[in-house]
Each structure stands twice: as C-alpha cells, then as structure tokens.
C-alpha cells in the first residue's frame, strides 16, 4: 500500500506522527486515560503500512503504531486522520474495516496466535464543521434495542482540532505549534 497523501495537511500530519517522541506525546495527551495509564514509557513504533482504501485517500490518511503496555503486552494504536470539510457518519464502518485489515496482516506474521493484540483507534479530525456524530460503531447498526448487547461495538476517541482552544492543543510547545498549523 502506498504512503501518498492528497493534501498538504495530510503530509504534515503524517510527518509529525512519524516522529516517535512527538507521536507518543500526542497519543498520551489525546487518548483516554483508561488507555494511556497502561502504556509503557517506550515511544510508539510507527509501522509503515496504510490501511485506507485507495478510493478514500483524498479524505483520509492513517498511521499505525506498535506499543508495549506496562504489563509487557504488545498492542497497536491506530490513528485515522479525516480531512473532509464535515464529519463522515460512516467513519465507524471504515475503522472496523481497517482494524480487520490490521489483524489480517498481524495474523500472517503470527500464524500460531492464541490471542489477538488490542488495537485502540483514534480519529483525528480537522474539518470545517464540528464533529457531532456518535463515536461508537453501534450507532450505525439498525437493530432492536434488546439485541444491542449481543452485537459488535467499539468506541473511538475523536480529536476535533476545531473544538480545542489554541492553548489546550498540547502541553508541549512544539507539538502545539504543529497541531495549530494543521488547523489552518
């Protein structure tokens, strides 16, 4: 899969996320505390693959990181960068497809697996309109209420750059500048 991106912001964001220390800062600041408290102090390892469908590359780019937990487990953090002017209601469906592709690739490299690695997704959005759609997969499923406990669901944090004041973009000045530049 290619690493080409369609917009200057895409390239800028992917470059920023290719630096493990900066990526680690951003992920620690923007993922839920229930996730970050289990991350080891090691910087995330950027993986080279992209899982975004060729047809969607003008609107999305992505970055996958391998991380270690404080308990020594391997896991992945998946950042999907959305570049549309308004949020895509089907982003949960896209995430599910990309997560499955990540696991399929992982399985090829680990054919004798007993347990799958955790993959935590994060959506990075910098469109013109506010992100107002639910950040969970199940909102896309048309099902009876009583069925929902038995259906696949996952949540994903969303970083909407348009909603974050300049002073709260990051505690780190350089990262704050980079994120501010992504908004323009």
Residue 28 lies in a domain: yes
With a pLDDT cut of 70, the percent of the chain lying above it is 85
Residue 2 lies in a domain: no
Tokens standing for 104?
A: 């399929």
Domain tally for the chain?
1
Residue 157 lies in a domain: yes
pLDDT of 42 reads 94
Q: What DSSP letter does each residue of 40-52 carry, written as one string?
A: -SSPPEEE----S
Residue 1 lies in a domain: no
Tokens standing for 40?
A: 């080891």
Distance (Å, rounded) from C-alpha 116 to C-alpha 157?
Answer: 21
Residue 3 lies in a domain: no
pLDDT of 62 reads 81
The range of the structural domain enclosing residue 143 comes to: 8-183
Residue 156 lies in a domain: yes
CB 90 within 8 A of CB 140: yes
Q: Which residues of the chain have pLDDT under 70?
A: 1-12, 50-60, 83, 184
Q: Which residues contact 155 (CB under 8 A, 6 or more apart)?
A: 135, 136, 137
pLDDT of 2 reads 43
Residue 94 lies in a domain: yes
Distance (Å, rounded) from C-alpha 61 to C-alpha 123?
Answer: 10
Residue 142 lies in a domain: yes
* Nearest to 26, CA basis, from 106, 93, 81: 81
């Amino acid at each position: 899969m290619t690493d080409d991106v369609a917009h200057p912001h895409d390239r800028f964001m992917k470059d920023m996320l290719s630096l493990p220390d900066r990526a680690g800062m951003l992920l620690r600041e923007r993922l839920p505390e229930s996730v970050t408290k289990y991350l080891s102090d090691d910087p995330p390892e950027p993986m080279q693959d992209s899982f975004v469908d060729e047809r969607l590359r003008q609107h999305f780019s992505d970055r996958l990181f391998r991380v270690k937990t404080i308990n020594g487990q391997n896991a992945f953090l998946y950042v999907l960068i959305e570049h549309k002017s308004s949020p895509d209601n089907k982003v949960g469906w896209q995430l599910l497809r990309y997560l499955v592709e990540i696991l399929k690739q992982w399985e090829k490299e680990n054919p004798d697996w007993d347990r799958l690695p955790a993959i935590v997704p994060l959506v990075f959005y910098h469109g013109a309109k506010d992100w107002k759609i639910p950040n969970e997969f199940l909102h896309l499923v048309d099902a009876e209420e009583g069925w929902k406990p038995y259906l696949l669901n996952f949540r994903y944090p969303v970083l909407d750059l348009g909603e974050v004041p300049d002073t709260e973009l990051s505690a780190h000045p350089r990262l704050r500048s980079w994120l501010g530049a992504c908004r323009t």
